[in-house]
Structure 1
Amino acid sequence: MNRIYFKDNPWPNSHSIKEFEWEARLEPDSGIWFDLHLKSEDYDADDIVEEEEEEEEDDRPDWYHKIVWNNYHAVTLSSTFWGHKGLLVGTEANHLDFTKLAHTTFEVDTLPLQDERDYEDGAFGIYLLGHDAAADHRIHFEKNTGSIDFTVRWSGKIALMYAGQEEFKYDFDATITNVTFSGIKLPEGYSPEKRRLLLASFVSDVDLFVWSHERERFVLRS
């Protein structure tokens, strides 16, 4: 299941996901932000034999050619790798409720963007066929029955900015299973009591979380 699919690219069976991380950070001035980091295997990792495209005239865009994709090896889609802002999921006015994640689809950078340059300050950065842009994200977290793991479903749109294309005309869709939430990081300098009070300002049920001294963050109780 752990695969990412790019509609109409040369691999209709999608690509294996090599890395996936899900964590959060609490910023007292704004709220709780989810950070996601995804990296695929090499685009051609599932090819049984190395294929060479026939040298024939083909006016189709780069998106349709394996030789172009293989020049860039793999996709990275991340809020942490390049310091993007991530996904705001809990504020003082609208607390994060972990028990309702399965009933919520988070949306961010919905199209049309307010400004053509908004992609530079997007929630997530992407390296696909060069340093491109991703927007119109829809992200869903579903807790797996009988465990503390989650299934994450993530879709959105891509613009090939590296090639000078500003239209978000390409689609991606990823499904990642058996994902463990890595916890909520807080700024340094808070006492144990203040840490818990701060967390309670942004989550619906603070008792779902326990402080991990080893990891220096709040993690879900097992």
Structure 2
Amino acid sequence: MRTITFVDSAYPKPHGLEEFVWSGRLDESGRLWFDLHLKSNGYYKSEGEDYLDDDDEDDDEEEYTSMVQWQSAIVWDNYHQCILSSTYWSDEGGILLSEEDESFTFSSLVNKEFVLNPLPLSDEMMESDFAFGIYLLGHDLSANHRITFTALDNGLYDIKWDGTVALTYGGFDEFIHEFKAHIQDAKFDGFYFPKSWSTEEATLHFKKVLSDFDQYEFVDVNPKSNKREYKLMFK
């Protein structure tokens, strides 16, 4: 099961995912990150073909509020599907795992909950400070992320990801709408690093932040290409 649910929305049933990628990143400052990227199926697909057949919705009679927009199928249909990601628009977000000279190991994920952009947000909060970008009912904002990774017996992970949304594209700044994502059997896609680094240079940096570096190896991202580009994967 790989779904995202928008609680009490116009389309409240779980939405299947068209795309999901869980990857890692070592940035030029030597900081290690997890990145998450998901794209939902079309909103209407979650409810079945007959969901809107008897809909008598009339937006002209409704007060213009965030909740009215959230519960309006006509509004949702204008935007088709959700993208929630730390990689789709930029590489400024994600889940910080360690700074340089701090070590990370996957065993540290046990009983760990990552809490990102908790509410209330600071008045000085800038868009670049958000861990994840979101396209939901336009380019909105998401915060108060709570993410857990649970190891399964087959080397895969169960990921639970809850958060809130403010419909800022519609002019609202209240983070009052909830989403819940559940991704079963997620496979880690590996740690990426700056393309300008050689594998020798990357090794020096990875050894500072991965306590079990000897359990990894560099893998060619696209072996069919003449241009060599690598990521770090479990052996």
* TM-score (normalizing by structure 1): 0.90
1:18–1:41 contact (8 Å) kept in structure 2 = yes
Shift of 1:118: 2.5
Aligned counterpart for 2:112 among listed residues 95, 104, 120:
104
Which consecutive unaligned segments of at least 5 residues does structure 2 have?
Answer: 223-229
Runs of 4+ in structure 1 off by over 6 angstroms are: none
Which consecutive unaligned segments of at least 5 residues does structure 1 have?
Answer: none
Map 1:180-199; keep pairs closer than 5 Å.
Answer: 180-199=187-206
Q: Over the residues paired in the alignment, what is the CA RMSD in angstroms?
A: 1.9
Q: Check if 1:154 corresponds to 2:161.
A: yes
Question: Cα deviations across residues 122-177 of structure 1 (Å, max 9, x unaligned)?
Answer: 111000011100011111111211x1211111111100000110111111110011
Decide whether aligned partners of structure 1 residues 63 and 201 sit closer, same or farther in structure 2, where only a CA change above 3 A counts. same
Equivalent position of 1:71 in the other structure: 78
Decide whether aligned partners of structure 1 residues 190 and 12 sit closer, same or farther in structure 2, where only a CA change above 3 A counts. closer
For the residue of structure 1 that corresponds to 2:202, the secondary structure is helix
* TM-score (normalizing by structure 2): 0.85
Instruction: Give the letter aligned to residue 212 of structure 2.
Output: D
Decide whether aligned partners of structure 1 residues 131 and 142 sit closer, same or farther in structure 2, where only a CA change above 3 A counts. same
Instruction: Give the letter aligned to residue 80 of structure 2.
Output: H
Equivalent position of 2:232 in the other structure: 218
Q: Please say which of residues 83-92 and 69-78 is displaced more in the overlay.
A: 83-92
Q: Please say which of residues 7-16 and 57-66 is displaced more in the overlay.
A: 57-66
Q: Please say which of residues 77-86 and 112-121 is displaced more in the overlay.
A: 112-121
Aligned counterpart for 1:61 among listed residues 57, 61, 68:
68
For the residue of structure 1 that corresponds to 2:188, the secondary structure is coil
Q: Check if 1:87 corresponds to 2:95.
A: yes
2:162–2:181 contact (8 Å) kept in structure 1 = yes
1:119–1:134 contact (8 Å) kept in structure 2 = no
- How many percent of aligned residue pairs carry the same amino acid? 37
Q: Distance in 2 between matches of 1:191 and 1:76?
A: 32
Q: Distance in 2 between matches of 1:55 and 1:107?
A: 37
Equivalent position of 1:171 in the other structure: 178
